[in-house]
């Protein structure tokens, strides 16, 4: 279904007011044997009797997890780590967010987590921050009442992290330059 959504987005981008590309229906994208089996065992009807909306609904159900094992998710998230190879804070955060989404996708939890577990996602991101001195400073800042909203909302937290990381990286580079200058003058 994800591939179909990507395909449909690309097709819709080609649509204009004068005409455009034709989007293939979901039902036409299903291999005929699979289509017959799903129609027979899931819908108890013939394949031609199933509407496009029913096909979409059937495949969209796969995006809803039947059981959420947060112990397994927590274990997988412990491996999440910000990569500090990039020199821009936006790149660091974007890659961390992509890694987080990849783990959530493994457990089919991306949508559910963003709807119901924002605080948990913020915790995963905060635990993955690097370097250690930045992570420690953020842990302290998150205990302050004035920063309470960042603990419960992912998007503001990420924007805040990008801003703080830019400041941190500026001071970190200045400190390194001062240390290097101090050593060379001795």
Distance CA 82, CA 92 (A): 7
**Residue 154 CA to its chain's centroid (Å):** 10
- Quote the tokens at residue 111: 């949508």
| pLDDT confidence of residue 62 | 81
Sorted by where each begins, the domain ranges of the chain are: 2-63, 70-184
**69-107, pLDDT tens digit by residue?**
889 999 999 999 999 988 899 999 999 999 999 999 999
Residue pair 108/65 in contact (Cβ under 8 Å)? The answer is yes
| pLDDT confidence of residue 171 | 84
- Taking residue 56's Cβ as centre, other Cβ atoms within 10 Å add up to 16
- Average pLDDT, integer, range 146-167: 95
Distance CA 82, CA 110 (A): 19
Q: Which helix (H) or strand (E) holds 77?
A: helix 70-77
Residue 60 has pLDDT above 90, yes or no: no
Residue pair 82/129 in contact (Cβ under 8 Å)? The answer is yes
């Amino acid at each position: 279904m994800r591939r179909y959504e990507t395909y449909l987005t690309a097709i819709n981008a080609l649509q204009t007011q004068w005409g455009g590309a034709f989007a293939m229906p979901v039902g036409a994208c299903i291999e005929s044997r699979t289509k017959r089996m799903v129609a027979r065992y899931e819908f108890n009807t013939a394949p031609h009797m199933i509407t496009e909306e029913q096909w979409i609904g059937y495949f969209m159900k796969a995006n809803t997890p039947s059981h959420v094992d947060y112990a397994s998710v927590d274990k997988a998230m412990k491996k999440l780590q910000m990569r500090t190879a990039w020199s821009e804070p936006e790149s660091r955060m974007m890659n961390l967010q992509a890694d987080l989404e990849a783990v959530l996708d493994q457990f089919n939890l991306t949508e559910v987590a963003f709807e119901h577990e924002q605080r948990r996602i913020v915790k995963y991101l905060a635990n993955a921050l690097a370097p250690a001195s930045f992570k420690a400073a953020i842990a302290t800042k998150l205990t302050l009442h004035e920063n309470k909203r960042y603990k419960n909302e992912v998007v503001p937290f990420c924007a805040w992290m990008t801003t703080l990381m830019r400041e941190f990286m500026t001071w970190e580079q200045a400190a390194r330059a001062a240390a290097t200058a101090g050593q060379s003058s001795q």
